[in-house]
A and B are shown apart, each in its own frame.
Chain A
Amino acid sequence: MDLTAIGAAIAAFTGLGAGLGIGIATAKATDAVARQPEADGKIMKLLLLGCALAEATAIYGFVVAIMIIIFK
């Protein structure tokens, strides 16, 4: 049983949290834009910022997976 592969797969699971979080954030952002269309510039900026911050945890998982594969 090659545990490296299983370890890397589990590490890649962190993408789940990021996907959920960004999905919910985008849903709320579209709600806000629908409620007030003239504020869409600000809302888009905030959304991009939030997505970049939320993506960080997913990236941590990716880095750990790569390190597991490379360093066994």
Chain B
Amino acid sequence: MDLKEILNELLMEDKTFLRIPVGSGTLEIYKSVVLTWVVMLVLFILMLILTRDFKVHNISKRQAAVESFVLWIRGVTGGMLGEEAMGYADYIATVLIFIAFSNMVGLFGVVPATMDLNVTIALSIMSIILVEAAGFKKKGLRNWLKGFAQPMAVIAPMNVLELLIRPLSLCMRLFGNILGATVIMELIKAVAPVIVPAMFSLYFDIFDGAIQAYVFVFLTSLYIKEAVE
């Protein structure tokens, strides 16, 4: 039936966008990476436009909105991170905005960047490196190594394994949610093309995308908080 074709097309397509011959082989750049570039560009232009002409007193409404937005995001991420890890709030806020934007690109009919396993793996690798680096910087080398044997020495293998399992679960959660949302949206669009997708897209694209971004960031900051204390 049509559905199988659609699924095949969606999932099995060749994801390369650019092929750049480099040396002996070809450098392939996937669509998701290009989409990430586009999202970065859009965010950058947005930031430039919104933060132009900042004054100290007698501020315009736009500036007040931007300032309150920054303070709100810092409040959210700072609350999740706790007192000691406040320095990481900026990075966490950036990741939150990026993932939320990437997930909502599905509104425009484009395959979201996070539907590619590579992007989610990259995000989770960065998260786990950040968590371990935070623990390392706070505790020093010996205490960090000793932390693996907490609370009992028998649990040490499990703790080391958790180093692998946490990023895996983060990445698979994000990937799976966005994959499921996109597949179901495609199926709905194939079945009832006119009004119904709009309503469902409200849940799948916007709500689900935002929640998954928030959950990703929440879990990362929870791990950071745990590692720093």
Q: Do chains A and B touch in the complex (CB under 8 A)?
A: yes
Total A-B pairs, Cβ < 8 A: 38
A56 with B173: CB separation less than 8 A: yes
Chain B residue at smallest Cβ distance from A53: B215
Contact residues, B204-219 vs A (CB, 8 A) = 211-212, 214-215, 218-219
CB distance from B38 to the nearest CB of A (A): 26
Q: A62 and B218 in contact (CB under 8 A), knowing A48-B211, A52-B211?
A: no
Report how far A7 CA is from B12 CA in the complex, Å: 20
A27 to B177, CA, bound (A): 24
Q: Are the C-beta atoms of B211 and A59 separated by less than 8 Å? A: no
A5 interface contact, C-beta 8 A = no
Residues of B near A63 (CB, < 8 A) are 172, 175-176, 179-180
Does any Cβ of A come within 8 Å of B60's Cβ? no
Q: Spell out B's residues near A (CB within 8 Å).
A: 7-8, 11-12, 169, 172-173, 175-177, 179-180, 183, 211-212, 214-215, 218-219
Q: 10 extra interchain contacts, Cβ-Cβ under 8 A, other than A56-B169, A63-B179?
A: A52-B211, A52-B212, A56-B172, A56-B177, A59-B173, A60-B176, A62-B176, A66-B179, A69-B7, A70-B7
